[in-house]
Amino acid sequence: MKAIHVGLLGFGTVGRGTWDVLRRNQEEILRRAGRPIEINWIATRTLDRAREATRGVAGVNLANDPALVVRHPDVDIVCELIGGVDPARQLVLDAIEHGKHVVTANKALLAQHGTEIFAAAHAKGVMVGFEAAVAGGIPIIKALREGLTANRIEWIAGIINGTSNFILSEMRSRGASFETVLREAQALGYAEADPTFDVEGIDAAHKLAIMASIAFGVPMQFEKAYAEGITKLTREDIRYAEELGYRIKLIGLARRARDGIELRVHPTLIPAKRLIANVEGAMNAVLVKGDAVGATLYYGQGAGAEPTASAVIADLVDVTRMHTADPEHRVPHLAFRADRLSDLPFLPMAEVATSYYLRMRVEDQPGVLADIARILADRGISIDAMIQKEPSEGEAQTDIILLTHLCVEGRVVEAIRAIEALPTVAGQVTRIRLEALA
Amino acid sequence: MKAIHVGLLGFGTVGRGTWDVLRRNQEEILRRAGRPIEINWIATRTLDRAREATRGVAGVNLANDPALVVRHPDVDIVCELIGGVDPARQLVLDAIEHGKHVVTANKALLAQHGTEIFAAAHAKGVMVGFEAAVAGGIPIIKALREGLTANRIEWIAGIINGTSNFILSEMRSRGASFETVLREAQALGYAEADPTFDVEGIDAAHKLAIMASIAFGVPMQFEKAYAEGITKLTREDIRYAEELGYRIKLIGLARRARDGIELRVHPTLIPAKRLIANVEGAMNAVLVKGDAVGATLYYGQGAGAEPTASAVIADLVDVTRMHTADPEHRVPHLAFRADRLSDLPFLPMAEVATSYYLRMRVEDQPGVLADIARILADRGISIDAMIQKEPSEGEAQTDIILLTHLCVEGRVVEAIRAIEALPTVAGQVTRIRLEALA
């Protein structure tokens, strides 16, 4: 029984985790896969670390140069765990060119260059596995690509950035500010020194673009995604949302609307009683609505060495199990066959319809609310709920919080501009989108 | 592009749902599967119903006799949706004998005769899909069999009987009794006229036996499962559990212990803050703990025409995609290869270790608690939490509620017998198991 040989590119957190889990559970994995899966090449810049980890294990070769591994004749699957676009893109394309199957955890690479990579793999008849690119160990790619094939997917809503969810959970439970919690998260290693990718929604948008592509059978188009982060959320908004029966989460949402696909990441009010609203800390969850199955939810750790390794190895086992299938009959990379992708357009945000939480600081005097209500009514925006606070002792201003019914974002942007122009309204209107997810 | 031909056995709720979804989403499914999937035979006793549904669709043949369909040369996949063991078992074996792939939603059949059926399929080189047999549309079989292959599974805990969960949810939210809610559920069609299978935990035990087999790579052995239902649960127990920070759910639990596998279905206290404790109504959820991935949860509708059809069709697409693979390399029926199943024993309940909720009615007099505490201590059972209620006005008796730390069930049974023998304890001790699920 010949082993499947894996060449590992990168020996950081996930690379090391993959090595550890594959070794620890090798007997179990062999019983499942039917063939031993063995890492026989590791390319890394930290050779000492790799040497230390692999000591005493026969048949493992270390290299400084990943280019050597992607073309080595004794490698069957190249496992790309370097991250980033360069040089990962070229290495993956070279591996495919040399007839290797590829397993990758690289969401940025796929979200931006997936179309090119899958086309190359399709032409060569090799597989590309990327379960680890979205939501860590949760087998969400498999669920979308294989588990829900009977369905016309209506929408996907995901908490797919653990750092942001950790920050929001802490802000809510402790009433702390974004800045305070971010600093703590950085100290704990939950957030990077430069947290932009996480807290500005870019990482979530990468993952969302990948899921949307599989759900709707469209080419990956990260550049069409709208991303808005959590940096401007205040404790007050979180508290007001709670008073109204909602939680604020950073949600990645892909929806099939009448005229195209919505692809957007932003802070979102969700009814507190929804299961996904109760996903706390650094955990991830993805809610998928299919026309036949209804809503299904997938929950687990979205990052970390071993959860991510779990997804990487699941792909290695899949490739091992399926490599004898006629390439035309294997599971398509994007769930739909490459020659049958759809050209459904992505919608600009101005055409997206959702509900809104609007918070504004107003003078405590008669007629203010009437003016605001008139501005909304003129644009066909109807109000679902409202809180008007008593002004604090000695203050002349107070907060009005409104929830709207469903309306088109373009109209809301206009309305906000008009409200901000009122002499009785101070400063800017805070706007957070709201989704019922039902 | 030749269509894959499906012979449907049974045209009840799920059969009809499968027909409807396959028709409605045929274009989407074709884009995914690469070949049209067409039902060309339907065997049913309700021919009128089938004639009505299939009117105007070319190429569909109706039959009274399922034996004709399982051996028809123009059927590629037999889809068994009759339910029950007879004649389903023989029909499935005949289909396999005639070289057909099989897709089935029949949990009772697989839990009891899975070993025989998989052996026959293995010998013939055909596939048996059974995603629909567990938790309706939730792709939990795929997650266990393919998504989590890197992991040594430690345990699975599932809310896998919607009827029971609906009853428990209503009992808790409205403070109603089991009998009241059951009657309502029957009127609404959520519970059968004879609800034994659902409320006594038998249906859940079927599904649990199937999941355990896949998780641990052991032959299906439904007869080793312990099943205890919800018929004896009282409003008081649900309320006391809540006071202590827990919810009571009917949980199917399969755990790899040191000396074997625990396989048990029973009412269970779960910490209220766990996501799975907040699964309400007729919904299903399965929590899986793997050594690498940690805890992952899968949630959705566990029954109904279209959710179940979603799982049936996912299997049809899988078979269509994989039928060109070398049979030796396809996904094994039980996740592990047939020649590599393990003979790990299932543990008798007396050897299972868990925590307990104990409620007893006692005389309100000195020394009672001391006697009880002594009985527990003598058997090495330590107390984690306790509530002692004030007796109601004019009553001489009161309730004591205890939560124990982890202990072996055999010891607890002994202790309960000794407590019930105390002259100061009235009637029987109520015992409900408790799982932290962390």
The 10s digit of each residue's pLDDT in A374-395 is 999 999 999 999 999 888 888 9
How far CA B393 is from CA of B21, B239, B365, B389, B390, in Å, comes to 60, 20, 15, 12, 9
Mutate to test the interface with B, among A32, A276, A279, A312 (most CBs of B within 10 A): A32
Show residues of chain A in contact with B19, CB under 8 Å. none
What pLDDT, on a 0 to 100 scale, did the predictor assign at position B159?
Answer: 98
Q: Mean pLDDT score of chain A, rounded to an integer? A: 95
What pLDDT, on a 0 to 100 scale, did the predictor assign at position B335?
Answer: 84
* Tens digit of each residue's pLDDT (9 = 90 or more) over A2-42: 899 999 999 999 999 999 999 999 999 999 998 999 999 99
User: Rounded distance, CA A302 to CA A140, Å?
Assistant: 11
Is the per-residue pLDDT at B300 higher than 80? yes
User: Rounded distance, CA A351 to CA A349, Å?
Assistant: 5
Residue numbers of B between 6 and 25 with CB closer than 8 Å to A:
17, 21-22, 24-25
* Tens digit of each residue's pLDDT (9 = 90 or more) over B102-144: 999 999 999 999 999 999 999 999 999 999 999 999 999 999 9
Token representation of residue B17: 């749902």
Q: How confident is the model at residue A241 (pLDDT cuts 50, 70, 90)?
A: very high
Show residues of chain A in contact with B148, CB under 8 Å. 139, 310, 314
What pLDDT, on a 0 to 100 scale, did the predictor assign at position A318?
Answer: 94
How far CA A149 is from CA of A138, A210, A228, A238, B163, in Å, comes to 18, 16, 31, 37, 27
Helix (H, G, I), strand (E, B) or coil at A50: helix
Is the per-residue pLDDT at B389 higher than 90? no
* Tens digit of each residue's pLDDT (9 = 90 or more) over A281-329: 999 999 999 999 999 999 999 999 999 999 999 999 999 988 877 887 7
Q: How many C-beta atoms surround the C-beta of residue B339 within 10 A?
A: 9
CATH of region A351-434: 3.30.70.260
Show residues of chain A in contact with B30, CB under 8 Å. 340
Shortest Cα distance from A137 to chain B (angstroms)?
5
Is the per-residue pLDDT at B1 higher than 80? no
- Give the CA diameter of chain B: 83
Among candidate residues B279, B285, B288, B262, the one with its CA nearest the CA of residue B406: B262
CA dihedral B165, B166, B168, B173 (to 10 degrees): 130
Q: How many C-beta atoms surround the C-beta of residue B380 within 10 A?
A: 11
Among candidate residues B28, B24, B30, B21, the one with its CA nearest the CA of residue B3: B30
CB contact under 8 A, B32 and A291: no
* Tens digit of each residue's pLDDT (9 = 90 or more) over A95-153: 999 999 999 999 999 999 999 999 999 999 999 999 999 999 999 999 999 999 999 99
Is the per-residue pLDDT at B56 higher than 90? yes
List the beta bridge partners of residue B8.
B42, B79
First to last CA, chain A: 50
Is the per-residue pLDDT at A240 higher than 90? yes
Mean pLDDT throughout B218-239?
95
CB contact under 8 A, B335 and A34: no
Is the per-residue pLDDT at A331 higher than 90? no
What pLDDT, on a 0 to 100 scale, did the predictor assign at position A393?
Answer: 87
Asked whether this chain's domains A4-139+305-340 and A140-301 adopt the same fold, the reply is no
CATH class entry, domain A4-139+305-340: alpha beta
What pLDDT, on a 0 to 100 scale, did the predictor assign at position B77?
Answer: 98
What pLDDT, on a 0 to 100 scale, did the predictor assign at position A142?
Answer: 97
* Tens digit of each residue's pLDDT (9 = 90 or more) over A202-213: 999 999 999 999
- Out of 3.90.1310.10, 3.40.50.1370, 3.40.50.720, 3.30.1490.150, select the CATH number for domain B4-137+305-340: 3.40.50.720
Nearest C-alpha in A relative to B333: A32
CB pairs under 8 A between A and B: 240
* CATH architecture of residue range(s) A140-301: 2-Layer Sandwich (3.30)
Q: How confident is the model at residue B223 (pLDDT cuts 50, 70, 90)?
A: very high
Give the DSSP H/E element, type plus range, for residue A268: strand A261-271
Are B139 and A298 spatial neighbours (Cβ–Cβ below 8 Å)?
no
List the beta bridge partners of residue A101.
A77
Mutate to test the interface with A, among B18, B19, B144, B149 (most CBs of A within 10 A): B149
Nearest C-alpha in A relative to B145: A32
Mean pLDDT throughout B407-433?
97
Mean pLDDT throughout B255-269?
95
What pLDDT, on a 0 to 100 scale, did the predictor assign at position B52?
Answer: 95
| A152 Cβ under 8 Å from any chain B Cβ | yes
What pLDDT, on a 0 to 100 scale, did the predictor assign at position B189?
Answer: 85
Is the per-residue pLDDT at A73 higher than 80? yes
Q: How confident is the model at residue A189 (pLDDT cuts 50, 70, 90)?
A: confident
What pLDDT, on a 0 to 100 scale, did the predictor assign at position A341?
Answer: 84
CB contact under 8 A, A296 and B137: yes
Q: Which residue ranges make up each domain of chain B?
A: 4-137+305-340, 140-301, 351-434
CB contact under 8 A, B322 and A322: yes
What pLDDT, on a 0 to 100 scale, did the predictor assign at position A342?
Answer: 87
Q: Mean pLDDT score of chain B, rounded to an integer? A: 95
Q: How confident is the model at residue B62 (pLDDT cuts 50, 70, 90)?
A: very high
List the beta bridge partners of residue A376.
none
Q: Which residue has the higher pLDDT, A322 or A173?
A: A173
* Tens digit of each residue's pLDDT (9 = 90 or more) over B321-368: 888 778 877 888 888 888 888 888 999 999 999 999 999 999 998 899
b/e sequence A397-427, b meaning 16+ C-beta within 10 Å: bbbbbbbbeebbbebbebbbebbeeeebbee
How many residues in total does chain B contain? Answer: 438
Token representation of residue A270: 């969700």
Q: How confident is the model at residue A276 (pLDDT cuts 50, 70, 90)?
A: very high
What pLDDT, on a 0 to 100 scale, did the predictor assign at position A334?
Answer: 85
What pLDDT, on a 0 to 100 scale, did the predictor assign at position B266?
Answer: 97
